[in-house]
Structure formats: structure tokens, C-alpha cells
Chain A
Amino acid sequence: DAGITQSPRHKVTETGTPVTLRCHQTENHRYMYWYRQDPGHGLRLIHYSYGVKDTDKGEVSDGYSVSRSKTEDFLLTLESATSSQTSVYFCAISESQRDSLGETQYFGPGTRLLVL
């Protein structure tokens, strides 16, 4: 199994509070991704990173920011949490040295976030 951990695994917070989710990998993979999973929508990309300090937006990036200061860590921050950000958040990693579309994206265990 790919070495990906997410913390916390569960979190309950109140509307308006900042929240940071952490993704940590031990695979030294270049690409890291944050997705959210909601019923009826599958998984949707929030932000991704293609290297240290290199990040870009996904399709549902509003209200989220990310940072990657080290290869192994990718942080997702909700600056001011809203109830619409209640979701399951998945981190994923992949390596692109061969630039092959067949390289699998491996997923972390997920973080369940409830915003009250």
C-alpha cells in the first residue's frame, strides 16, 4: 500500500472557524491532490500540487487554499468553514516521472469533516 496518511480522520467544527487538513506521504511522489466526495457527485478536485510550492486550482476550489512546503506534506485549509464544506476529503498522490497516464493515483483514507 502507498504510504499516505491524512489527519485528522474526523473533525467537527463550527461555521466560520478555520480548518486545516493534512496529507502526508512517504513515497516521494511529485503530484498530490485534494478531492472532496459528496453524494451524487463522485469525487471532485479541489486543488493539486505538482511540486514544492507549485499548486493549482481544481473545479471546486472556492473557499479553499493549499500549501506545500515539503514534498511529503500537502495542506488543505478552509479559511472560514461553511456548512456546504461538510464532506469527505481525500488526498491522492501519483508519480509522473515517466509522464504516463497509466500511473495510478493512490488515495489516503479520507477525512470526514462536519461543519455545524
Chain B
Amino acid sequence: AQKITQTQPGMFVQEKEAVTLDCTYDTSDPSYGLFWYKQPSSGEMIFLIYQGSYDQQNATEGRYSLNFQKARKSANLVISASQLGDSAMYFCAMRVPYNQGGKLIFGQGTELSVKP
């Protein structure tokens, strides 16, 4: 069965420092996609970054990068130069192939607090 695990319920980081949010996944499918979403206190789900299972290079989007280690089945999110606005809940998710519905399987989330 497919599964996403986020082992850090909450984390603190000092403003302007980098932070890594952990995510491990489990699947027997060779094709899958890994996503990170941000959920601020206002409640909306904001897409941050995507990594495909066949991608050779780690994905980057501005201050966000995804540290993809396929052999370890990990897809950690790295936020560089943290800002106060980064305080939010962060969810790692895995997309299954469309012949299985293309659904997202979510982890339980990590609540990040950025300290000034």
C-alpha cells in the first residue's frame, strides 16, 4: 500500500536560516509524483514543488528545493532563508498513476514556526 510519513509534527526555525522538513514514502509503483503543499493559518492549500520518480535532478522552486533520495524513499523539503511568512503547516503528498485515479496520498503534516 502507498504511504507517506512525516515524522516531525512541529518544528521551529530562526528567521533567515534554512530548514529541512522530512518526508518518506512507500510505494511499489515505479511511476509516482511527489508534491509539497503549504497550508497557512487561513486554510488554503498552496502547491510548492513537485518531483517525478524518474527525474534525475532535485526540483527547485525559488527558496524551495526537494532533496529526492530514491533509494531511501525520501523527499525532504528544504526551505532556504526562512521568512516569517513561511510559518504554516506543510504537507508531503504522493500522486499515484492515473490508472489508479491519480489521487494524492498525504502525510500528516509538519507545522513550521519561524521565529524572528
Chain A interface residues toward B at CB < 8 A: 31, 33, 35, 40-45, 48, 50, 56, 58, 88, 90, 92, 94, 96, 99, 101-102, 104-107, 109-110
Could you tell me if A56 and B101 are in contact, using CB atoms closer than 8 angstroms? yes
Count: A-B pairs, CB below 8 Å: 68
In the complex, A48 Cα to B109 Cα: how many Å? Answer: 22
9 A–B contacts, CB within 8 A, in A order: A33-B104, A35-B106, A42-B108, A42-B109, A88-B43, A90-B45, A92-B104, A109-B43, A110-B44
Q: Which of A35, A44, A101 has the most CB of B within 10 A?
A: A101
Could you tell me if B103 and A33 are in contact, using CB atoms closer than 8 angstroms? yes
Could you tell me if B33 and A109 are in contact, using CB atoms closer than 8 angstroms? no
Stretch among B13-21, B67-75, B76-84, B90-98 lining the A interface: B90-98
Q: Does B47 contact A (CB under 8 A)?
A: yes
- Interface size class on chain B is 20 to 34
Contact A99 B98, CB 8 Å, known A44-B106, A104-B50: yes
In the complex, A41 Cα to B5 Cα: how many Å? Answer: 11
**Which residues does chain B contribute within 8 Å of A109, judged by CB atoms?**
43-44
Contact A40 B108, CB 8 Å, known A48-B101, A88-B43, A107-B44: yes
**Which residues does chain B contribute within 8 Å of A31, judged by CB atoms?**
98, 102
**Which residues does chain B contribute within 8 Å of A96, judged by CB atoms?**
98, 102
**Which residues does chain B contribute within 8 Å of A41, judged by CB atoms?**
108
**Which residues does chain B contribute within 8 Å of A40, judged by CB atoms?**
108
